[in-house]
Structure 1
Amino acid sequence: MSEESYVLVGLVIVLVVLAGRLLAGRLRMPDAIVLVGLGFAVSYLPGMREIRVAPEIVLLVFLPALIYNAAFFSAPREMRSEARPIIALAVGMTLVSAFAIAGVTWLLLPGTSWAAAVALGAAIAPTDAVSASAVLKRVGAPNRVVTILEGESLINDGVALTLFGLAVTAMSTPLTFGDGLRELLTVVVGGLAYGAVVALAVAWLRKRLYDSNAQLVVSLVTPFVAYIPAETVGFSGVLAAVVAGFYLGTRGEGLLPPRVRVTGHTVWRGLVMLLESTLFVLLGLQLHEVLVGIGGVPPVRLVGIAVAVIVVTVLVRLGWQVAVSPVMRYLPGPLRLDPGRLRDRVIIGWSGLRGAISLAMALSLPFTVNGEEFTDRSVLVFLAAAVVLATLLGQGMTLPLVLRRMGVHQEGSSRVEYARAEVAISRAALARIDELLASGQTGEQVAETYRRFYTLRVKQSRSVLDADERGGSPPPEAHGTAFLRHEISAAEREALLQLYRDGEIGHEVFQTVGHELDLAEPPRRKH
């Protein structure tokens, strides 16, 4: 394909992503299902079937940004408090799932090597908490459940990708136990150490950069600086990206000015959405080739294997949560684990959705092994895709029903936390206003204007907290400040736009003032 063709293909993929997300919203279906379907339909367009994404591209382009983003926005305090159940799931559950899936695959596909089966198990094992967390937060599920799921999703990516890398290596170069152990230690220790070096270097650089555009560029290239050199020298790029993202996300917020943080968060949300969506479109585009590659396997048998792998994937996780977790309370010392309530364990067990990371690993399986075509690749990619789509569609769409059956309803904890935060910051603002007024750095009229605003916000937020303590609902005016700020912001934007339309201000002023309004816009909260 020519350079122009690649550009055209990239444009088509972006258009399919946008159309898929729009259509998924209208149909109330998971984005992934619609994107795969549209990708498969587009594969029949002229030239689209020639697309073959090299496995190295999938790993180098998609994984660094996705993993770094997840680590950057993790919650360190909450994760520390739930470290034991998170590690038990992220390490123990991931390894058990990987080898259980590998065993079923190896038994049902006798021609498949054990290394290839383990590679498939490692690809399917890690969960993607994004979709499940969105549902759980919307219905007010316990914060502990959400924290465990998000923490597990962060760590299990590193565990699964390390096992995946060892399995792919073993497909072409058989490893003894000693070789595998040495390789594992090198990969893990080297990845952790290099990730720490990158994190410290980026933190040092950020303190000395004052240009917002340069700051944003540093943010975008950091995951690739962490991932690619580590992989090149034989370390774990995944662990390096996780360490860098975790350190910079939890300790580096103060290194960036507010405007850069606002812009960076927006850019990263868009980038992650595009990368995840593109992976599902690429699966759809390659689905025709995958179906051709599995032509030698009878359809009934193939469907039976897919169902078996899906069932094992779901049941092993549920079994771990319901049966294994309670036993771990009897383990000695640091291994002892508080399993929590049965309701929470069932929710965590049913929230094991698979997503973009699993798909990226499956698509990165090699086309050739030792110079010969890897004939099992199409079947393994098909099985991985079946698990991803089945969990997103089956578990994802039934998760709200499971939550209702388990007695989980909207608890309003976020609303109360917002109110508590607003009381604290408003009181701090009032104290600072009084200090500035006393020192003569501001006038009485200006101080009184701001004092009224913050006093009103404290009063309204207190009404939310008082209602929560009484067990009732807050009065309608409880969030009047936020509502008023949104309405004022809308009026300001309309006035600015009218000035520009009338030719009274130029485009540069229009953009600058509009950006300032964007920065001042209060977030829309879901209570």
Structure 2
Amino acid sequence: MDYALLVLFGILTIVAVASVAPKLGVAAPLVLVVIGTACSFIPALPPIEFPPGLILSLVLPPILYAAAVNVPLVDLRRNIKPIAGLSVLLVIVSALATGLLFYWLLPALSLPAAIALGAVISPPDAVAATSIAKRLGLPPRLVTVLEGEGLVNDASALVLLRSAVAATAGSVALWEVVGGFVLAAVVAIVVGLVIGHLTVWVRSKLLNPVLNTTVSFAVPFLAYLPADELQASGVLAVVVAGLVTGHQSAKHFNAQIRISERVNWRTVQFVLENGVFLLMGLELKTLVVQVRDESSLLQAIGFGLLATGLLIVVRIAFVVPLIALLRRDQRRAAQAGKDLESAIRHLDRPKSEAADAPARMSAPTTGRARRFLVRRRADVDSLTADGLGWRGGAVLAWSGMRGVVTLAAAESLPDIPYRAQLVLIAFIVAIVTLLVQGSTLPVLIKALRIVGTDSGADRQELATLVRQVSAKGLAALDNPNLVQKNGAPFDPAVMDRVRADSQLIGESLREQANVDEAEPPGFAGLDTTEEPSAVDDSAATIGPHQQHRTLRLRVLRAERDALLEARATGAFSSRVMERAQHMIDLEESRLAQLSDDDF
């Protein structure tokens, strides 16, 4: 089949499904799997099969990188215990349990080969689960745990798969497997850290957003290839590089580069993630054809269903004690918060009150200690305010859908007995978990009545943050040594305007924090049928800063219309038009951020 035609079909299908799926109340990956499966059995469609290493080396790295750059490092650190448990320990337990099952069911299959298949089907894919979780407004911590698990469990499964495949070629001691697993992880982390920091430094020198974003497209492969050559986990190196980049971007990249990178990588992630789910369905017919014997086909289906059931049971059995452990940590955190608060007050004592202390820490040491304690207190506050209860644990236990890694890893299985059946078993596990768990997860979430984020509280928090940040910015304007590069003082009128604008933004956000949620945002209170200067009498019920934002948006709309008219006449050069358009876009984007649409 012509790959260009396949790509065209895939893109159009992905866009159509992504547009319709939210209206149907289902996750797009589930619909794509069904469509792909149905299309694979069309007689006119030839068998579709990709090289085994294509997805693993070309598709998986950018998917993981795109996900990693958007995961806040602080959230990952605060949830390291559940993420590590689910992404490492649960993967190993699942691989061993299902490996023993296959070893018992298939007599000609060696134990290492059986564990290799267990490693293939052990890591869940968080794409479907997180898309459902975000759409239904689950608590942020639960979403973070699912995302973190999806990032790290791929590396655990693939390292375990590599060790099991190596064991099929000869006898390997247990300590060698464990040592190889740890070494692969450590080397991958080092490679990811080096590549992440190095590419951030290089990109910080590129101020052109196009060039900068282009370099970012190479980062996943710059991390994956050397780690893979060193027999380490290439996908873990990609994840670490992505986390470093996401954490450092606010400091080293300007706003335009960040906006460009965000949009481009979201597009790449959207196409690749959904494309893989469509591909899963399209390849099903090819896998069925490879298992030519009807009895073998039925056997593979039965074994796939058995493995699916075992994976679900193992995950539930693992999550129950994990939630109990996290609830215990939450109770301990309440007392830890009091101890940390007491320690902070102790450090903040005036020197006169601390005169009886035998040794007073120096000011720099005290500052570092205080920052550490304040950060720990924030971690504790987050843990106590957003705990994972039993209802969240139920969602976590049922979010075991398989996906892209199972697809990629299954195709990489070596030439071992029952290979065609084993690959088909892996695909059956992935498709069944996607369709069964993915379709019932929204029902479970609604039945449990899990409370997600509070939009009103988010607006209040945003207003508080802006007030604090604005105060810092205004303080910089009061610096008596503030001068221009040539040493001349700034124009007082310009400084007053900057000060007024800064205060206006902060006051506007605080005003919106108290706006009734039933009031429509945007152009509420403005009669849009009149000229921009004509404001309806109902505008008196809206705060002055809301009116300012609304009128500015109207002015920008008129300016945009005039710009389009000027472009139609061809009276100005394209570079001037582009710059003017960009200025309007930036201003409109700033004003749009003052809206509460996102909460």
- Normalised by the length of structure 2, the TM-score is 0.74
Deviation at 1:264, TM superposition (A): 0.9
Unmatched runs of 5 consecutive residues or more in structure 2: 333-382, 484-488, 521-541
Q: Could you tell me how far apart the structure 2 residues matched to 1:46 and 1:515 are?
A: 51
Deviation at 1:128, TM superposition (A): 3.5
Q: Could you tell me how far apart the structure 2 residues matched to 1:484 and 1:426 are?
A: 23
Give CA deviations for 1:465-504 in whole Å, capped at 9, x if unaligned: 568xxxx979875893776666555444333223223434
Q: Could you tell me how far apart the structure 2 residues matched to 1:359 and 1:172 are?
A: 23
Q: Could you tell me which amino acid in structure 1 is paired with residue 317 of structure 2?
A: G
* Contact in 1 for aligned 2:398/2:437 (Cα 8 Å): no
Matched, 1:499 2:566: yes
Q: Label 1:280 to 1:502 Cα distance change in 2 as closer, same or farther (>3 A).
A: same
Quote the residue 1:290 is aligned against: 287
Q: Could you tell me which amino acid in structure 2 is paired with residue 415 of structure 1?
A: R
Q: Label 1:92 to 1:227 Cα distance change in 2 as closer, same or farther (>3 A).
A: same
Matched, 1:459 2:457: no
Deviation at 1:159, TM superposition (A): 1.5
Quote the residue 1:93 is aligned against: 90
* Contact in 2 for aligned 1:199/1:244 (Cα 8 Å): yes
Match runs of 1:39-118 below 5 Å: 39-43=36-40, 49-109=46-106, 112-118=109-115
Q: Could you tell me how far apart the structure 1 residues matched to 2:279 and 2:209 are?
A: 34
Deviation at 1:256, TM superposition (A): 1.9
What is the aligned counterpart of 2:461 among 380, 399, 417?
A: 417
Q: Could you tell me which amino acid in structure 1 is paired with residue 428 of structure 2?
A: F
Deviation at 1:160, TM superposition (A): 2.0
What is the aligned counterpart of 2:310 among 312, 315, 332?
A: 312
Q: Could you tell me which amino acid in structure 2 is paired with residue 312 of structure 1?
A: L
Q: Could you tell me how far apart the structure 1 residues matched to 2:284 and 2:584 are?
A: 45
Q: Could you tell me how far apart the structure 1 residues matched to 2:155 and 2:396 are?
A: 20
**What percentage of residue pairs aligned between the two structures are identical?**
29
SS at match of 2:247: helix
Q: Could you tell me which amino acid in structure 2 is paired with residue 69 of structure 1?
A: A
Between 452-461 and 472-481, the greater mean CA deviation after superposition: 472-481
Between 16-25 and 30-39, the greater mean CA deviation after superposition: 16-25
Q: Could you tell me how far apart the structure 2 residues matched to 1:153 and 1:7 are?
A: 30
What is the aligned counterpart of 1:361 among 403, 409, 425?
A: 409
Between 313-322 and 107-116, the greater mean CA deviation after superposition: 107-116
SS at match of 2:50: coil
What is the aligned counterpart of 1:441 among 457, 479, 490?
A: 490
* Contact in 2 for aligned 1:129/1:149 (Cα 8 Å): yes
What is the aligned counterpart of 1:223 among 220, 224, 238?
A: 220
Q: Could you tell me which amino acid in structure 2 is paired with residue 121 of structure 1?
A: G
Between 106-115 and 244-253, the greater mean CA deviation after superposition: 106-115
Q: What is the aligned-residue RMSD (CA, Å)?
A: 3.8
Matched, 1:198 2:195: yes
Quote the residue 1:119 is aligned against: 116
Q: Could you tell me how far apart the structure 2 residues matched to 1:426 and 1:73 are?
A: 25
Matched, 1:326 2:324: yes
Q: Could you tell me how far apart the structure 1 residues matched to 2:297 and 2:209 are?
A: 55
Q: Could you tell me how far apart the structure 2 residues matched to 1:47 and 1:202 are?
A: 47
Q: Could you tell me how far apart the structure 2 residues matched to 1:437 and 1:328 are?
A: 52
Deviation at 1:278, TM superposition (A): 1.5
Deviation at 1:72, TM superposition (A): 2.0
* Contact in 1 for aligned 2:307/2:429 (Cα 8 Å): yes
Q: How many correspondences in the alignment?
A: 511
Q: Which has the larger radius of gyration?
A: 2
* Contact in 2 for aligned 1:20/1:38 (Cα 8 Å): no
* Contact in 1 for aligned 2:303/2:425 (Cα 8 Å): no
* Contact in 1 for aligned 2:402/2:431 (Cα 8 Å): no
Q: Could you tell me which amino acid in structure 1 is paired with residue 34 of structure 2?
A: G
Between 275-284 and 265-274, the greater mean CA deviation after superposition: 275-284
Deviation at 1:53, TM superposition (A): 0.7
Matched, 1:232 2:229: yes
Q: Could you tell me how far apart the structure 1 residues matched to 2:100 and 2:577 are?
A: 62
SS at match of 1:94: helix
SS at match of 1:93: helix
Deviation at 1:33, TM superposition (A): 2.5
Deviation at 1:50, TM superposition (A): 4.4
Unmatched runs of 5 consecutive residues or more in structure 1: none
Give CA deviations for 1:277-299 in whole Å, capped at 9, x if unaligned: 12112212211112223453477
Between 190-199 and 205-214, the greater mean CA deviation after superposition: 205-214
Quote the residue 1:247 is aligned against: 244
SS at match of 1:289: helix
Deviation at 1:250, TM superposition (A): 1.2
Deviation at 1:77, TM superposition (A): 1.7
Q: Could you tell me which amino acid in structure 2 is paired with residue 380 of structure 1?
A: A
Matched, 1:348 2:420: no
Deviation at 1:228, TM superposition (A): 1.5
Deviation at 1:263, TM superposition (A): 0.7
* Contact in 2 for aligned 1:39/1:282 (Cα 8 Å): yes
Give CA deviations for 1:103-127 in whole Å, capped at 9, x if unaligned: 4444455555443443343333333
Q: Could you tell me how far apart the structure 2 residues matched to 1:417 and 1:474 are?
A: 20
Q: Could you tell me how far apart the structure 1 residues matched to 2:136 and 2:44 are?
A: 45
- Normalised by the length of structure 1, the TM-score is 0.83
What is the aligned counterpart of 2:430 among 384, 391, 395?
A: 384
Q: Could you tell me how far apart the structure 1 residues matched to 2:207 and 2:232 are?
A: 33
Between 218-227 and 509-518, the greater mean CA deviation after superposition: 509-518
Give CA deviations for 1:426-459 in whole Å, capped at 9, x if unaligned: 4444445566998652352x55555454434333
Q: Label 1:457 to 1:475 Cα distance change in 2 as closer, same or farther (>3 A).
A: farther
Q: Label 1:500 to 1:378 Cα distance change in 2 as closer, same or farther (>3 A).
A: same
* Contact in 2 for aligned 1:127/1:156 (Cα 8 Å): yes
Give CA deviations for 1:34-53 in whole Å, capped at 9, x if unaligned: 22233345446798524321
Quote the residue 1:401 is aligned against: 446
Deviation at 1:247, TM superposition (A): 1.7
Give CA deviations for 1:328-353 in whole Å, capped at 9, x if unaligned: 8889xx9xx99853333333333444
* Contact in 1 for aligned 2:323/2:389 (Cα 8 Å): no
What is the aligned counterpart of 1:512 among 564, 579, 599?
A: 579
Q: Could you tell me how far apart the structure 1 residues matched to 2:49 and 2:56 are?
A: 14
* Contact in 1 for aligned 2:184/2:231 (Cα 8 Å): yes
Q: Could you tell me which amino acid in structure 1 is paired with residue 423 of structure 2?
A: R
Between 118-127 and 212-221, the greater mean CA deviation after superposition: 118-127
Q: Label 1:146 to 1:45 Cα distance change in 2 as closer, same or farther (>3 A).
A: closer
